[in-house]
């Protein structure tokens, strides 16, 4: 049962990541780029992590898994870029 719930939230995060990619894409070919796939996968991971770390399985968490998948991709990618710049400079 727990694995089904984690899978559900991961799927919602993936859907949020896909929505993020879809909204930002300018052409259908943009959906096939590696960067788009990376954002969708990060969205799925974010949704799964959200359930593992913060959920008590209520309805608002259902929506939050989607939101985290949508916005979490930008947050994580910006953190990675910032960390990478600090490593190069430092």
Q: What are the pLDDT tens digits along the chain (90 aa)?
A: 788 888 998 999 899 888 888 887 888 888 888 888 888 998 898 888 878 777 665 557 677 777 777 777 777 777 677 677 766 665
Q: What is the pLDDT of residue 11?
A: 92
Q: What is the pLDDT of residue 55?
A: 60
Q: Give the start-to-end residue ranges of the domains of the chain.
A: 2-89
Cα gap 16→46, rounded to integer Å = 10
Q: What is the pLDDT of residue 89?
A: 65
Please count the other Cβ atoms lying within 10 Å of the Cβ belonging to residue 41: 14
Q: How far apart are the first and last CA of the chain?
A: 46
Cα gap 46→5, rounded to integer Å = 14
């Amino acid at each position: 049962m727990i694995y089904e719930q984690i899978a559900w939230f991961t799927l919602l995060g993936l859907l949020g990541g896909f929505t993020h990619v879809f909204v930002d894409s300018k052409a259908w070919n943009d959906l096939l780029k590696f960067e788009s796939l990376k954002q969708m996968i990060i969205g799925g991971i974010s949704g799964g992590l959200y359930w593992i770390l913060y959920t008590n399985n209520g309805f608002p968490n259902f929506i939050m898994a989607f939101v985290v998948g949508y916005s979490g991709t930008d947050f994580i990618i910006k953190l990675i870029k910032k960390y990478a710049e600090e490593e190069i400079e430092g």
